[in-house]
A and B are shown apart, each in its own frame.
Chain A
Amino acid sequence: MNLGGFLRTFDPSNPSELAFSMHEKWVAVHPVVLAFTASVADCVSAKGGEHTGEVTNVGSLPYLIRMGLFEHLKLPPGKRITAHEAAGRFIPLQRISSTDDLTRFIVDMIPLLHASPTEVEPVRYVISELVRNVFEHASSARGAFIAAQYFKRSNTLGIGVCDSGIGIRESLSRHHTVPTHSDAVYKALVPGISGTTSRLGGTAYNAGAGLFFTKSIAAASRNYFTVYTGDALFKLRPTPPKQPILLFADAERDRHTMETGLPNWNGTLVGIDISLSKGTTFAALMDLIRKVFGKSIRKEKQKPMIRPRFT
Chain B
Amino acid sequence: MIRISVYDRAGVFAENKDIAAEIREVRVGPALTAGETVQLDFTGVEGATQSFIHALIADLIRRDGPDVLTSLSFHACNRTIRSIITIVVEYSQIEA
Q: Give A117 to B80 CA distance when docked, in angstroms.
A: 13
Instruction: Check if B18 sits within 8 Å of A99, measured CB to CB.
Output: yes
Q: Give A299 to B78 CA distance when docked, in angstroms.
A: 29
CB-CB under 8 A from B93, the residues of chain A are 303, 305-306
CB-CB under 8 A from B76, the residues of chain A are 311
Q: Give A302 to B95 CA distance when docked, in angstroms.
A: 9
CB-CB under 8 A from B13, the residues of chain A are 106, 124, 128
Instruction: Check if A121 sits within 8 Å of B72, measured CB to CB.
Output: no
CB-CB under 8 A from B80, the residues of chain A are 121, 281-283, 286
Contact of A287 among B49, B83, B85 (CB under 8 A): B83
A106-132 interface (Cβ within 8 A of B): 106-107, 117, 121, 124-125, 128-129, 132
Q: Give the interface segment out of A75-83, A169-177, A206-214.
A: A206-214
Q: Does A294 contact B (CB under 8 A)?
A: yes
Contact of B21 among A204, A281, A299, A302 (CB under 8 A): A204
| B: number of interface residues (CB 8 Å) | 47
Instruction: Check if B69 sits within 8 Å of A306, measured CB to CB.
Output: yes
A-B contact count (CB 8 A): 131
Q: Give A306 to B93 CA distance when docked, in angstroms.
A: 8
CB-CB under 8 A from B18, the residues of chain A are 99
Which residues of A line the B interface, CB within 8 A?
99, 102-103, 106-107, 117, 121, 124-125, 128-129, 132, 192, 199-202, 204-207, 209-210, 213, 281-283, 286-287, 289-290, 293-294, 297-299, 302-303, 305-311
Which residues of B line the A interface, CB within 8 A?
11, 13, 15-18, 21, 24, 39, 46-47, 49-51, 54-55, 58-59, 62, 66-67, 69-70, 72-80, 82-96
